[in-house]
């Protein structure tokens, strides 16, 4: 595998705004909120967007399928996950 092939594989793992374009409006709203707020929990996203928790979960799942967000466990509360936008500029 050449260096250009490995670079191409790395860039395909990261989403872009073009990937978000075809998603439902709720996913677009969640992506925009994450763009302005670096890292948020699911509850914080629901509070900020005024969307129901189930809709936020669905939007986060769709964004995760497109490799547009990054999620990790919260160090302060291991029951929660922290979400951040992972879109190339």
What is the DSSP secondary-structure string of 16-66? Answer: -HHHHHTS-HHHHHHHHHHHHSSEEEHHHHHHHHT--HHHHHHHHHHHHHT
Do residues 29 and 59 make contact, with C-beta atoms less than 8 angstroms apart? yes
Q: Which CATH architecture has domain 3-85?
A: Orthogonal Bundle (1.10)
pLDDT in tens, the chain (89 residues): 455 444 444 445 777 888 889 999 999 999 999 999 989 999 999 999 999 999 999 999 999 999 999 999 999 999 999 999 988 76
What's the pLDDT score for residue 12?
53
What's the pLDDT score for residue 89?
60
């Amino acid at each position: 595998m050449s260096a250009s092939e490995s670079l191409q594989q790395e860039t395909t793992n990261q989403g872009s705004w073009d990937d978000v374009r075809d998603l439902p409006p709720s996913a677009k709203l969640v992506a925009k909120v994450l763009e302005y707020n670096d890292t948020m929990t699911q509850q914080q996203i629901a509070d900020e967007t005024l969307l129901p928790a189930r809709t936020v979960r669905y939007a986060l799942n769709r964004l995760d399928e497109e490799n547009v967000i990054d999620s990790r466990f919260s160090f302060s509360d291991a029951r929660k996950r922290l979400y951040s936008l992972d879109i190339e500029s």
